Amino acid sequence: MFDDKLTIIQNLTGVNSSKLNYYLEVQRSNEQIKIQINRLELLHQLIKDINIDMSLADIVERVYNKLPQAVPCCFLGLALAKGDRLVMTAAIPDNRRLGQPVPGTSILWKCYTERQRLLYNLNTEGERVSSSEDVQDPVESWGLKSAAIVPLQVRNQVIGVFIVGDNQDFTYGSSELAFIEQLADQLAICIENARLYKEVSKGKQEWEATFRAVPDPIFLIDKSYNVLRHNHRNNNIVPGIDDQEEKPKCYSILWKRNTPCENCSMEEVHRTGKGVYRQIQNDGTIFDAFYYPMIDSGGETYAVILHAKDVTEKVKMEAQLVQSAKMVAIGEMAAGVAHELNSPMTVIIGTAQMMQRDMGSEDPRAEWLDDIISCGMRCKKIIQNLLSFSRQGQFSFAETNINEQVEKVLSLIHYQINRNNIEIVKNLDPNIPSVMANGHQLQQVLINLLLNARDALEETEGEKCISICTGIETEQDKEWAVIAVKDNGCGIDPDNLNKIFNPFYTSKEASKGTGLGLSVSLGIAQSHGGTIKVESRPGLGSTFRFLLPLKHENGGET
C-alpha cells in the first residue's frame, strides 16, 4: 500500500518524467559523442591514407569511399584556383565538367571570394542557385538537393572550394558542416603539400638531368673525403657509388691512395671558403680540376664539388705546338748553319779534287786527299740531311721507305750517340714494304726515341748498346710495320710507365728534358693511324716499338 502511494506521488510530482528525460538526453549526448569520435577517427584515417605523391583524382576518390561513414554524400568535388579562374579539377561520380572554368555567377565563386562556408538546400521553393538564367550553375547540373560548400584555405590564402552533396533534402546541418570544414582544412593542406612535392620533385628531376648532362665528371665530396654523389660520367673510376652503403674515399678512387693527398685542394676550399683550380694527372689523363664550396645556411662549407675536365688532348696539342715552334726556330738556325757550312765544304772538296788531279795517282799524298774528299762528302751528306729534316713544308703523306728514314736519322745523330761509347746495332728488314707516312715526322719520332735511349744509358756501367730494328708484325688481325728501338739502360719504374707519354712529364733534370718528346712522338704516331708501345724492366733496359699500319686508310695531309 505504501509503495503504491509512493509511486502515485512520484508520478504526480514528475520525478519519473525527469529521470526519463535525463536518460534520453544522456543517450543522445552519447550518440553525438560516438558520431564525433567516428568522424575524428575517419578524418585521421583519411589523412593518414593520403600520400603527397597521389593525384587530386586519387585523393578525392579516397575521401569519397570513406566519407559516407561519417556524413551522407553521393557527390564530391574540387574546384581549384588557377590564376584568375576557378576550374573544376576533380569530381566523383559526375566528372563531365572537369577542366572547365566555373561561371562567375556560380555560388562556388561566392564561397571562394567571400571565404565563407555555404550550406544550401538546392531547388527548395523553386529558388535558382545561379544568379544568371542564361548560365547553368555546375551545382545544378549535378542534380543535388543538398550541398555543403567550404573554402580550401592554406596559410590564410584560399586555393579553391570543396563541395560535398547529397540527393536528399536537408542532409547537412551545422554539425555536418563543421566536420566537412575540418575535412576541407586537412584536404587543403594535403593538396598544397602535393603541389609543393610536385614542384620539388620537378626541380629535383631538372637538377639531376642537368647534373647528369654535364659531359665532365662531377663529384660531391664531404669533409671526411667521402664521395657522396657523382654524375656517372666516369663509371670506370667510380662504379655504383649510389648503391654502396659505405661511401668511398675520394683519394682512394680518384688518386689510388690510402691516405689523403698532401696539400689537398679540398682543405684549402674548407679553410678559405673559395674555389680552387688545379691541373692534375691521373693514370695518363690530364684534368683541369675545379673545386667549389657548398655552403650551408650558417655560412659554413659542409662539402666540396669537384668538377674534373679532361684536357689531355688539349694539353697534347699545346705540347705539339710548343715543340713545333721550337722545331721551327731550330730548323731556321740549322738551315742557316748548313748553308754557311756548305760553301766552305764545297771549296774544300773542290780544291782537294783539283790537287788530286794535278798530283796524279802515283803521288803518296793522293791518299790524304782521298780522305779529305771522303770526309768532305760525308759532311755534305750530313748537312743535306739536316736541311731536309729542318725544312718546314707541307706534312703530306706519301709512300715512304722506313729503312731510308732510319738511315737518314742515324747519319744525323750517329756522332752524338757514338761519343758516349754506345754501340749502335742495326737490323733492318730489307723486304719491309713502304708505308703511307710523312718522312720528316717519322724522323722526328726516331730521333726522340734514340736520344731517350742514349740518355737511359748515361748511368750504365759496362757495355752500352742501342739496337734499332725494322720488320712486320701482326696484331689484332692487322699487319703493322714496326720500328723497334731497344737499349740496355736503367729501364723505367712500373709506376711511371703510364706517365711517360704525358706532356711535360720527365724524369730527367730540367736542363736535359722538357717532357715533350714522347708526348709529341705519340701524337705523330696516332696521326699516322699507329701507336707507340713500350716494354721496360728496371735495370734491364727498355724497348719502344713504333707501329705504323701497312695500308694507311686516311691518306692525304695531316
Residue from 463, 483, 474 nearest 546 by CA: 483
Co-location of 69 and 218 in the same domain: no
pLDDT at 155: 83
Residue 277 belongs to domain with CATH number: 3.30.450.20
Q: How many structural domains comprise the chain?
A: 3
Strand intervals (E) in 182-257: 218-222, 227-230
pLDDT at 469: 92
- Dig out the grid coordinates for 130 from the structure: 545561379
Cα–Cα–Cα angle for 211, 212, 217, nearest 5°?
Answer: 90
pLDDT at 511: 44
Q: Is residue 158, in this structure, part of any structural domain at all?
A: yes
Phi-psi region of 248 (alpha: psi -120 to 50; beta: other; left: phi over 0): beta
Q: How far apart (Å, rounded) are the C-alpha atoms in residues 458 and 422?
A: 9
Q: Is residue 9, in this structure, part of any structural domain at all?
A: no
Give the tens place of pLDDT for each residue, 472-501: 988 877 889 999 999 888 888 777 777 777
Q: Is residue 107, in this structure, part of any structural domain at all?
A: yes
Which secondary-structure segment (H or E) carries 475?
A: strand 465-475
Co-location of 220 and 115 in the same domain: no
Co-location of 180 and 256 in the same domain: no
Q: Exposed, middle or buried by CB within 10 Å (0-12, 13-18, 19+), for 494?
A: exposed
Co-location of 490 and 433 in the same domain: yes
Co-location of 195 and 96 in the same domain: yes
pLDDT at 504: 60
Q: Is residue 358, in this structure, part of any structural domain at all?
A: no
- Dig out the grid coordinates for 260 from the structure: 689523403
Cα–Cα–Cα angle for 327, 328, 331, nearest 5°?
Answer: 80
Residue 156 belongs to domain with CATH number: 3.30.450.40
Among the residues of 360-492, which ranges form H helices? 366-390, 402-418, 439-456
pLDDT at 128: 46
Q: Is residue 315, in this structure, part of any structural domain at all?
A: no
Co-location of 179 and 260 in the same domain: no
* Model pTM score: 0.49
Co-location of 533 and 472 in the same domain: yes
Q: Is residue 423, in this structure, part of any structural domain at all?
A: yes
Residue from 484, 390, 475, 476 nearest 440 by CA: 390
Q: Is the dihedral of CA 383, 389, 394, 396 positive or negative?
A: positive
Residues of the domain holding 419: 395-557
Co-location of 228 and 153 in the same domain: no
DSSP 250-297: HHHHTT--SSPPTT-HHHHHHHH-S-EEEEEEETTEEEEEEEEEEE-T
Co-location of 119 and 196 in the same domain: yes
Co-location of 159 and 276 in the same domain: no
Looking at the DSSP assignment, which residues form a beta bridge with residue 82? 85
Q: Is residue 67, in this structure, part of any structural domain at all?
A: yes
Q: How far apart (Å, rounded) are the C-alpha atoms in residues 540 and 487?
A: 8
Co-location of 151 and 232 in the same domain: no
Residue 451 belongs to domain with CATH number: 3.30.565.10
The answer for residues whose C-beta is within 8 angstroms of residue 384's C-beta and 6 or more apart is: none
- Specify the 3-state DSSP secondary structure of 557: strand
Co-location of 190 and 221 in the same domain: no
Residues of the chain with pLDDT below 50 are 125-130, 132, 239-240, 392-394, 510-511, 552-558
Q: Which of 250, 279, 310 is the last residue of a domain?
A: 310
pLDDT at 161: 92
